[in-house]
Amino acid sequence: MSGRRPIAMIQARPAFAMPMVILLALVIGLGVGIAVSRQMVQSRTVARQIRAYQEHHAAQGLQEAIGAFIQRIDAREIDDATADDGHALDLELQGGDVAKVYFTEAQGTMLSALGGLSGESLESNALALERLLRATSTERYREVTRRVGPWQVSPRSAPLDVIRAIIDSVVDDSGISESVASQIVSERQNEHIGWSDVSYMLEQAGAEEADRRRLQRIFTFDPELWMVRVDVKPRGTRRLSARYGGLTYIAAGSRRNRTSTGATGVFLTWKNLGVEP
């Protein structure tokens, strides 16, 4: 009987060792998987950082080049310096890409950040914002207000509800504000309206002279806030590879010679607008 015990012990060892081998293989496999996963995450993180770095410097280059162009023009000259679609210039980029630059007047919204205002500008803007918020939804209010730029509003691009709120905040007559706002939106479709046209509409609607003078200070027909859109395309193709945009201040007339809301050619906002698939 003593001769059988060693045989039993020898046969039991492989049966006990096999689960240990499998467990060890699983542990090693799991460790390798975690290491590979970490490496992949690190690689993606580094790639994102490189792309962000490249995009940051590309954006800086574009802003500087566009800023140099803006420094040479008056806001009143932009219509003459751009095509009907707002196209102003093309910039050649490293690698053969071309950046097509477009300008769009952006002072048709109301300034909602009142921190830098005082006196009449603060009072006028606050009253107009209150009328706007009362007449529209919170979502719409956000769509037609901004946090940067001059406080005056351009009737040439402002939506109907913004023009109506501004006029109503001064004349306090919904009939006059509705009538004149509708006329402005209608007339600007066919001609380049100015203050004399708006003043005449107000007078005909029954607005008093003091109210007309106050509205003249709120409305501007020399907008200085512009949206710049940059479309990047490989040379010789129509395919859009990137799109950027931002608001910039371009002084008009005598204001070019003194400091105003911001330095001419400096971007107040800038972001990657993305490319539709």
Of the candidate ranges 8-17, 137-146, 166-175, the one whose mean pLDDT is the lowest: 8-17
- Give the C-alpha separation, 247 to 64, whole Å: 14
pTM: 0.75
Work out the burial of residue 201: count CB atoms within 10 Å of its CB; fewer than 13 is exposed, 13-18 middle, 19 or more buried. buried
Select from 107, 110, 149 the least CA-distant residue to 131: 110
pLDDT: which is higher, 240 or 22: 240
Question: What's the pLDDT score for residue 136?
Answer: 94
Non-local CB neighbours of 233 within 8 Å, separated by 6+ positions: 97, 98, 100, 239, 240, 241
73's tokens: 């023009």
The mean pLDDT value for 3-27 works out to 58
Query: Under a CB-based contact definition with an 8 Å cutoff, are residues 221 and 256 in contact?
Result: no
229-261 confidence digits (pLDDT tens)? 999 988 878 888 889 999 999 888 766 555 444
pLDDT band (50, 70, 90) for residue 43:
low
Residue 221 pLDDT greater than 90, yes or no: yes
